Amino acid sequence: MMYSGKKFLLFSLLGVLLGYLFHRLTLLYDSYTGNTLDKWTHLLMEGQDEVLQSPWNVSFTGKSSAFFLLGFVMMLLVYLY
């Protein structure tokens, strides 16, 4: 099986983007108050707007770091598949 350097770079960048999106959504979920259903509803309705309005937030927590790594590893596994 041959691996391409360009494909690896592309999937690595996609992994960083997906991981960062997971990180931001985790931070937003943790910042909302209320029960779980209210958090999910607010995240689905308002989360995209909040991520797009202020795209840079690099204050990682333990949980958001884990979700960042999850997104990154998922894209690397897609590349290897």
Whether residue 14 lies inside any domain: the answer is no
pLDDT per residue as tens digits for the range 39-52:
888 888 888 888 88
Residue 57 CA neighbour count, 13 Å, CB half? 19
Question: Which residue, 57, 81, 78, is CA-closest to 12?
Answer: 78
Residue 63's domain spans which residues?
19-80
The total domain count for the chain is 1
Residue 3 lies in a domain: no
Task: Judge whether 33 lies within some domain.
Answer: yes
pLDDT digits (tens, 9 = 90+) for 13-38: 999 999 998 899 898 888 888 899 98
Q: Assess if residue 39 is contained within a domain.
A: yes
